[in-house]
């Protein structure tokens, strides 16, 4: 999709109804059951936010950024995700968390980012995080500067993501399940599943209305 065309539909996206959990769970593993808001609140989850940033590539097409997390002794080691992280005491809003973390992890300049929509929260049971995704854009092609938390930068063309060929399934093993078949997206040869795929599923349903 041409970036200028994308900017023209942002006003429609801003006011569009979200697909919510129904859209997210199209890409959820079978093992991942829905949790009610009451149950999630009872677990007192840690709050986090991620930033979905759209920007023009060198050919004027829309890209967005994913990251491959660095390996560490933790639940989300080496997984594919959006830039972002947990809320800290200095953050004045959950949106600021997404902006601050994106600056720290990949060098995005906060004042240049236009945030235009808050998406549906995603609960992540293994780590007890409740994550809020935000849609945003930059008017230029950014120069990313990754920090120690990021192993690789994955610049995805929006048209590739919106293609039906991007959605598939794979079999994998985790700390809590062996040989588990999961729905996923294959983007730039990376397998994207779990919480990030659930976020992407809602984003895809939203953008498909205007594509």
Ordered by start, the domain boundaries in the chain are: 3-162+195-208
3-state secondary structure of 73: coil
List, for residues 92-128, the tens digit of each pLDDT value: 999 999 999 999 999 999 999 999 999 999 999 888 9
List, for residues 53-72, the tens digit of each pLDDT value: 999 999 999 999 999 988 65
Confidence of residue 176 (pLDDT cuts 50, 70, 90): low
Residue with tokens 């040989």: 179
DSSP 8-state class, residue 145: -
96 φ, ψ (degrees, to nearest 5): -65, -35
Quote the pLDDT of residue 76: 45
184 sits in which H/E element: strand 180-187
- pLDDT exceeds cutoff 70 at 75: no
Q: What is the average per-residue pLDDT within 130-154?
A: 96
Domain spanning 3-162+195-208: which superfamily? Nucleoside Triphosphate Pyrophosphohydrolase (3.90.79.10)
Provide the whole-model pTM. 0.93
- pLDDT exceeds cutoff 50 at 145: yes
Token couple for 131: 């994550």
Say if residues 206 and 16 touch (Cβ distance below 8 Å): yes
Cα-based distances in Å from 33 to 28, 89, 145, 193 = 8, 31, 37, 15
Of 42, 43, 65, 47, whose CA–CA distance to 144 is shortest?
65
Of 161, 180, 177, whose CA–CA distance to 169 is shortest?
180
Report the Cα 43 to chain-centroid distance in Å.
23
Of 56, 82, 61, whose CA–CA distance to 1 is shortest?
61
């Amino acid at each position: 999709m041409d970036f200028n065309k994308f900017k023209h539909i942002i006003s429609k996206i801003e006011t569009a109804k979200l697909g919510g959990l129904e859209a997210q769970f199209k890409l959820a593993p079978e093992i991942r059951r829905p949790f009610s808001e009451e149950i999630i609140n009872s677990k007192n989850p840690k709050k986090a936010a991620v930033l979905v940033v759209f920007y023009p590539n060198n050919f004027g097409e829309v890209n967005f950024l994913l990251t491959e997390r660095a390996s560490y002794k933790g639940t989300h080691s080496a997984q594919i995700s959006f830039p972002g992280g947990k809320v800290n005491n200095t953050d004045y809003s959950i949106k600021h968390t997404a902006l601050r973390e994106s600056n720290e992890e990949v060098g995005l300049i906060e004042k240049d980012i236009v945030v235009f929509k808050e998406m549906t929260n995603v609960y992540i049971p293994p780590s007890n995080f409740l994550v809020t995704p935000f849609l945003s854009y930059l008017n230029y092609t950014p120069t990313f500067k990754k920090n120690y938390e990021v192993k690789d930068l994955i610049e995805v063309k929006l048209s590739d993501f919106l293609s039906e060929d991007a959605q598939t399934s794979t079999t994998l093993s985790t700390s809590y399940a062996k040989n588990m078949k999961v729905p996923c997206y294959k983007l730039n040869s990376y397998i994207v599943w779990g919480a990030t795929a659930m976020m992407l599923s809602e984003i895809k349903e939203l953008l498909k209305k205007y594509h």
